[in-house]
Amino acid sequence: MKKEVQVHSLFSDFDISLFRAGKHFRLYEKFGAHLMEVNGEKGVYFAVWAPSAKSISVIGDFNYWLEGEHQLNVRWDGSGIWEGFIPGVEKGTKYKYKIQSHHNDMVIEKADPYALSCEHPPNTASIVWDLDYKWKDKKYMSTRKDKNSLDQPFSIYEVHLGSWRKNMDENRSLTYTEMADELVGYVKEMGFTHVEFMPIMEYPYDPSWGYQLTGYFAPTSRFGNPQEFMQLMDAFHKEGIGVILDWVPSHFPEDKHGLGQFDGSHLYEHPDPRKGYHPDWKSLIFNYGRNEVRSFLISNAVFWLDKYHVDGLRVDAVASMLYLDYSREDHEWEPNEHGGRENLDAISFLRELNKEVYGSFEGVQTIAEESTSFPMVSRPVDLGGLGFGMKWMMGWMHDTLEYFKKDPIYRQYHQNDITFSMTYTFTENFALPLSHDEVVYGKHSLLGRMPGDEWQRFANLRLLYSYMFTHPGAKLLFMGAEIGQYEEWNYNTSLDWHLLQDDYHKGVKELLTDLNKLYKKQPALHEKQFSAEGFEWIAYDDSKNSVLSFIRKGKDPKDSLIIVCNFTPSVLTDYSVGLPASGKLKEIFNSDEKKYGGSGTKNKSLKIEKEEFHGRDHSAEITIPPLGTVVFKIL
């Protein structure tokens, strides 16, 4: 028998019209479970979208999980929204929706799509919660636009919270509160400007690493509650470090308590399996053409920026959204209305997402993980682009790692692999990723890819990072790369922190700390990192020596840097480099320094001669260390 559910609504007619038009981007203020007082009684207002439901009961530990005790009321306007106020329900109450569907009278138990907190998996109930918190980052938020703009250094440390560091005494991951001390301090010490979390939204299955979500509005309970996650955000902001969240609007799992067949119908997923089922991940794909689903997803992106003060979203698997034939055989997909393979609904959704994010929040960035040559991913929507701030440079990552795998003796035959990226670097605002995907599934760790003896392997790794930090674009490095992990990443174990007892590993960490300092201190490395005006080749064709030389430029010509990379273990002495001006050449960075584990081959202050070389009026003879990168400044 229905009892104690009072008629109450947070929805105005305008809210309903926006929702049905796919233009309501603050749905978290309406849907879900909201603690409030109605007619002098404290309790919770519940609202859920389920147009194919015949009846919906809120079941939970407050009513012994009994169906029919507290049935919600369906709105009269045909919106498919069920709602009602239940007195006496308190913060911390566990609940689900029990839905009887019009489809075959099936009865389903579902978690709340808008729940602010969830039970620790494998338990699946939603938890009534609030977002009350006194933020302490007002100063940071007011100046964020200056730190987060594209002409500023963007050095990202990618983290899987469950495996970054363990509490070894209790054999568990750190809590949000512990990370606010240990992780924040470490990222600050290393000098990264941003941290990126692999998905922290609630997910049921640890081996998915968080990329198959069931609680889009709830930070995972594995490490603490919502307020404790806010404390972690606050702690990063106190140190001036931006936080980027991985966000997954591309697909969701089929878990029974999740979004799949939510009300007995294909509500969130596309009903056509050619568009609604992902064969690779055995997951469901959102129906980007359904207005209410677009409102749900864009509201979710806005939610993290609004309520958790997030500084950016890295959008996962964008390529799988853009193409109807992604990972499908010829007979498994249907062309769009123009006969093409592009998913027009998904493209429209991504453009609307970015318009809303950039229009509503100052100083944030969206970053696309997009692995194809789809045009204008990081160009403004009003110019025909998708509107992202940046795009991962997957081609650079692939070509570079393939090149570094090769024995240096063969690199002279593959010079094009290491130079090719510069033919398209400025077609997008690229971020250079050495991400978690590159150190799993038998690919080996980054160190494990490097050829040669122990010294050469570490020298190659230092060279890789130095080349990366001097190449145009933002930088992203997955945790563990900075200490030279031997083993592939394992989501279930801690990083091998004991390796830092060894000088080679300690040297890699010190090198990356100094590279972050260099990247931040030298305007030439970031002011024009997305512009062709910020780069100029000196010589890219010295394949015989496997050497690259180029100039990085900032807004002031005096800030220009000369970078020379030697991809062989031979020391090159009296090596002539054409230069743009007279003066003296001062070495300001050398990846072969002894403190990094190198040989200590260095350059003293060098006089620039008025001798033509590389088509320039001036030149100097330098020494290039083995498997090393040297950065010079003209004084």
SS3 205: coil
In the set 119, 263, 356, 369, the catalytic residue is: 369
What is the three-class DSSP state of 415?
helix
Say which of 316, 356, 399, 438 is annotated catalytic: 316
φ/ψ of residue 452, rounded to 5: 95, -175
Return the pLDDT at 253: 97
**Which pLDDT does position 214 carry in this prediction?**
97
What distances in angstroms separate CA 536 from CA 127, 154, 589, one per listed residue? 56, 21, 19
Name the burial class of residue 423, with classes exposed (0-12), middle (13-18) and buried (19+) by CB atoms within 10 angstroms of its CB: exposed
Helix residue ranges, H only, 121-200:
138-147, 176-190
SS3 125: coil
Domains of the chain: residue spans and CATH: 13-127 (2.60.40.10), 152-525 (3.20.20.80), 532-634 (2.60.40.1180)
Q: How far apart are CA 340 and CA 337, in angstroms?
A: 7
d(CA 198, CA 105): 39
Provide the pLDDT for residue 613: 93
Beta strand pairing call for 474-478 and 155-159: parallel
Answer yes or no: 316 catalytic: yes
Of 372, 351, 353, 209, the C-alpha closest to 281 is 209
Contacts for 514-517 with beta carbons within 8 Å, 24 or more apart?
A: 514/589, 515/465, 515/466, 515/469, 515/589, 516/153, 516/155, 516/190, 516/191, 516/192, 516/193, 516/469, 517/191
Q: What is the token pair recorded at 138?
A: 């007002």
- How many residues in the chain? 635
Residue 287's pLDDT is: 98
Q: CA separation (Å) from 565 to 153, 270, 393, 394?
A: 22, 50, 20, 21
497 contacts: CB under 8 Å, gap ≥ 6: 165, 483
Strands 572-579 and 618-624: antiparallel
Tokens read off for 354: 């970015």
Question: Dihedrals φ, ψ of 146, to 5°?
Answer: -75, -30
Rounded distance, CA 165 to CA 432, Å? Answer: 25
**The pLDDT value given to residue 3:** 59
Cis peptide before 122 (omega within 30 of 0): yes
Q: Show the DSSP H helices in 280-324 as ranges.
A: 291-307, 318-322
600, 578, 589: which is closest to 629 by C-alpha? 589
Q: By C-alpha distance, which of 132, 111, 117, 129 is closest to 44?
A: 129
Low pLDDT (below 70) residues in the chain: 1-3
Cβ atoms of residues 450 and 486 within 8 Å: no
DSSP string for residues in 506-559: HHHHHHHHHHHHHHHH-GGGTTTTTSGGGEEEEEEEETTTTEEEEEE--SSGGG
